[in-house]
């Protein structure tokens, strides 16, 4: 294989059989369960990287079911998103994500810089309750519940939240272990087809885990919850800040 062919074919690892295909990546019947809670301001400040800024000590804990995603298949993920601002623009900083399938872990980390780790999240309806759980091996890390479709939400505020920018800290190490890439990335969800959104009484419990430290952002007060169903395309990112420049 010539050097020119290597350059032409190089998209993702491994070279001759990439772990995920090129995008765009379309998600059909993507389902969100999001609990918004107030947390300790000092704990939040310790994990949000500058130049992002925190407006309020708020965390959004998310469970996401993706039964039909182009290139990535059927999987579930769970994690924490922190409302932030960047140069006055409101958005969300993706702090932690845990999911149960290899290609979206690899693609999410390598393309965008999603902070994805392997675990066992679950989102399901049990009788009249929407239930989200996260397990790492045999250890329960998160349990969240909400009344199923108790109150329908207006479309416009939900769409505003879905179309807001999101931010990631993309880190790729050099072969000597130092950072070769360290960038703040911004991305958007695009071409959204809204299919419904609901709320209801909700609660969440976080359990301490050494390697899945979601409880380091403790739940002080549950502020609300939403259950959203939509189709969308996950847009590729743009670098807005280079920490190594």
Residues serving a catalytic function are 116
Task: Compute the distance between CA of residue 175 and CA of residue 118 in angstroms, rounded to an integer.
Answer: 23
Instruction: Of 165, 35, 23, give the one whose Cα is nearest residue 88.
Output: 165
What gap in Å lies between CA 200 and CA 150, rounded to an integer? 5
Which string of b and e fits 211-231 if b means at least 16 CB within 10 Å?
Answer: ebebebbebeebeebbbbebe
Residue 181: how many CB atoms within 10 A of its CB? 15
* Distance (Å, whole) CA 63 – CA 76: 7
Helices (H), 144-202: 155-163
């Amino acid at each position: 294989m010539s050097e020119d062919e290597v350059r032409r074919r190089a998209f993702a690892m491994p070279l001759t059989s990439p772990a995920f295909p090129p995008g765009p990546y379309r998600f059909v019947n993507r389902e969100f369960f999001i609990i918004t809670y107030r947390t300790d301001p000092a704990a939040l400040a310790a994990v949000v990287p500058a130049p992002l800024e925190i407006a309020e000590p708020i965390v959004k804990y998310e469970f996401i079911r993706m039964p039909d995603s182009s290139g990535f298949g059927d999987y579930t993920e769970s994690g924490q998103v922190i409302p932030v601002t960047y140069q006055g623009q409101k958005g969300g900083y993706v702090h932690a994500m845990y999911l149960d399938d290899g290609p979206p872990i690899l693609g999410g980390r390598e393309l965008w810089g999603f902070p994805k780790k392997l675990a066992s999240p679950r989102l399901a309806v049990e009788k009249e309750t929407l239930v989200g759980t996260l397990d790492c091996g045999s250890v329960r890390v998160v349990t969240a519940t909400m009344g199923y479709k108790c109150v329908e939400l207006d479309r416009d505020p939900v769409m505003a939240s879905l179309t807001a920018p999101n931010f990631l800290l993309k880190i790729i190490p050099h072969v000597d272990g130092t950072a070769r890439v360290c960038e703040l990335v911004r991305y958007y969800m695009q071409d959204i087809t809204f299919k419904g959104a609901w709320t209801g009484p909700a609660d969440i419990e976080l359990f301490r885990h050494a390697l899945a430290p979601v409880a380091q952002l403790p739940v002080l007060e549950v502020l609300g919850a939403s259950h959203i169903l939509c189709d969308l395309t996950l847009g590729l990112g743009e670098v807005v800040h280079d920490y190594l420049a």
